[in-house]
Amino acid sequence: MRLLLLSNAKTEGMAYLEYAIPHFQSFFAGKIERALFIPFANAAGDYLGFEAKAAVALAQAGIKLESITRFADPVQAVREAQAVIVGGGSTWKLLRDVRALGLLDAIRERVADGMPYAGWSAGANLACPTIMTTNDMPICDPKGFDALDFIPFQINPHYLHGNPPGFKGETREERIGEFGKLNPDTWVAGIREGTGFVIEDGAIRMVGELDCRVFKAGTEPCEVPARGDFSFLMSSQRPCA
């Protein structure tokens, strides 16, 4: 199984996905020329516009994108794809549409056979057991929270520690703590913008320079350095004293 799961696409002072181009280049390593793009997280439904925006960046990594919406049979498109790339946006709409089209099993089967999967934000959420640690509002009913279940832990993209001065709402850490109360056996990785995970054959490493904050019921939240050991996320170990 080969996964590239990124926190975000937009970075201050950089073009769309610009920061991630080296990660895509390293991950795909010139082994594919064309990837199937899944744009359903775009809540406005501008799928070809989304494809065009992402394609500009991915072309710099040597990858040509084709939106799944161009194909009459989306399941067959997944079966024939060299790779799948899933864009960010509304995780709820993404899961709803992927489920409705019967793509969950098709993607699972191909990834189990070695097809690379890459996604950012909502696309990273989709790779988790569920979408229960997404940040966005539930704008539609996805008919269940279960997702692709490629990894045994949850991701919280765009992780931001604390709150702006004067803001009294719940922090992200508090919200993740609520998830942990009801899901005590599951790790959550808060991945900051500009970072992500590469997972290959059960081995996991972080890309980007910022630390990752990890959470699990019964253990104190803690920071794991970007070049640290993240293997505990794939098991039940405790990373922090």
- Whether 202 contacts 17, CB under 8 Å: no
CATH number (domain holding residue 117):
3.40.50.880
**Does the residue 172 lie in any domain?**
no
**Does the residue 64 lie in any domain?**
yes
**Does the residue 215 lie in any domain?**
no
Parent domain of 128:
2-160+190-209+225-234
**Does the residue 131 lie in any domain?**
yes
Q: Which residues are catalytic?
A: 121, 136, 158
- Whether 197 contacts 205, CB under 8 Å: yes
Number of structural domains found in the chain: 1
Predicted pLDDT of residue 161: 83
Predicted pLDDT of residue 167: 75
Predicted pLDDT of residue 116: 98
Predicted pLDDT of residue 213: 98
**Does the residue 229 lie in any domain?**
yes
Q: How confident is the prediction along the chain (241 residues), in pLDDT tens digits per residue?
A: 999 999 999 999 999 999 999 999 999 988 999 999 999 999 999 999 999 999 999 999 999 999 999 999 999 999 999 999 999 999 999 999 999 999 999 999 999 999 999 999 999 999 999 999 999 999 999 999 999 999 999 999 999 887 777 777 788 999 999 999 999 999 999 999 999 999 999 999 999 999 999 999 999 999 999 999 999 999 866 666 5
Phi–psi pair at 53, nearest 5 degrees: -65, -45
Predicted pLDDT of residue 166: 77
Predicted pLDDT of residue 73: 99
**Does the residue 182 lie in any domain?**
no
Please give the C-alpha separations between residue 144 and each of 45, 46, 88, 101, 131, in angstroms, as whole numbers.
21, 25, 19, 14, 9
Q: Which helix (H) or strand (E) holds 4?
A: strand 2-6
Q: What is the pTM of this model?
A: 0.95
